[in-house]
């Protein structure tokens, strides 16, 4: 059995049903995140079978996964109740992916960026104290490759390197709870690229700040690593402020 990011075991569908399971799960998850299936509304297994053209076993498995994410709840003599957003496992990468695909993506981007602002500077500071020489050297090398990819306008490669850079900072922090956030960071960076919410050519200051973080970690300068990462996060927020204002997000 696979596990969700919340540690809840999820049964795997049979291979022949895996594609159907994923399709229905994405449709329902996205619909819930988009508000098309509003909190308090009720779903019925027979209706879902008919709407999606799948077996009852596929629908039941999809509902089990959605229940593990806090999206739905089975109520006897009522049906499958859609739960409020306050009950969702908002740290689940799949939930983040669905929310980014919905009209509420700007709100999702803002909340994750605020989380990153609280966590990643501290992770950089810890990495300066705990990273091995090889880990620090790899970070410096990644920053250099990011610079080259950014200047060349190679967006897919830059995205891959950007995700890997931030993942390694979290890992090098030596804090197992920070490490668990790497999938969340990957999802938000991927989402920003996918929905054209990042500059096509990275700002030169951002490239320099990544290099500053890596070099400070290599030199065991926790204060400088933390400060440079704070600036990276502040720049990300500044880039998105205009989008928040356009959507009326407070």
What is the rounded CA–CA span in Å between residue 15 and residue 21?
A: 10
Domains of the chain: 2-87 (1.10.10.10), 104-247 (1.20.120.530)
pLDDT average, residue stretch 18-43:
93
pLDDT confidence bin for 214, thresholds 50/70/90: very high
pLDDT confidence bin for 237, thresholds 50/70/90: confident
Which tokens hold the place of 187?
Answer: 């999802």
Asked whether the beta carbons of 105 and 124 are under 8 A apart, the reply is: no
Give the pLDDT of residue 233: 93
pLDDT confidence bin for 5, thresholds 50/70/90: very low
What is the rounded CA–CA span in Å between residue 182 and residue 190?
A: 12
Question: Dihedrals φ, ψ of 12, to 5°?
Answer: -90, 135
For 115-173, the pLDDT digits (tens) are 999 999 999 999 999 999 999 999 999 999 999 999 998 999 999 999 999 999 999 99
Give the pLDDT of residue 200: 67
């Amino acid at each position: 059995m696979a596990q969700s990011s919340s540690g809840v075991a999820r049964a795997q569908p049979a291979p022949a049903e895996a594609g159907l399971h994923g399709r229905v799960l994405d449709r329902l998850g996205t619909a819930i995140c988009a508000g098309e299936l509003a909190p308090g509304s009720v779903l019925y297994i027979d209706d879902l079978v008919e709407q999606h053209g799948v077996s009852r076993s596929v629908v039941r498995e999809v509902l089990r996964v959605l229940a593990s994410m806090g999206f739905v709840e089975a109520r006897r003599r009522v049906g499958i109740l859609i739960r409020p957003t306050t009950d969702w496992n908002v740290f689940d990468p799949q939930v983040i992916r669905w929310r980014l695909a919905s009209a509420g993506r700007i709100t999702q981007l803002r909340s994750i960026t605020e989380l990153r602002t609280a966590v990643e500077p501290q992770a950089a500071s810890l990495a300066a104290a705990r990273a091995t020489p090889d880990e620090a050297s790899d970070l410096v090398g990644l920053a250099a490759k990011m610079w080259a990819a950014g200047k060349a306008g190679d967006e897919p490669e830059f995205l891959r390197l950007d995700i890997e850079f931030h993942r390694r900072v979290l890992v090098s922090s030596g804090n197992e709870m920070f490490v668990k956030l790497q999938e969340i960071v990957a999802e938000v960076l991927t989402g920003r690229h996918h929905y054209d919410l990042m500059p096509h050519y990275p700002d030169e200051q951002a490239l320099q700040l990544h290099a500053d973080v890596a070099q400070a970690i290599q030199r065991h300068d926790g204060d400088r690593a933390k400060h440079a990462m704070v600036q990276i996060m502040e720049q990300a927020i500044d880039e998105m402020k205009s989008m928040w204002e356009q959507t009326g997000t407070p």
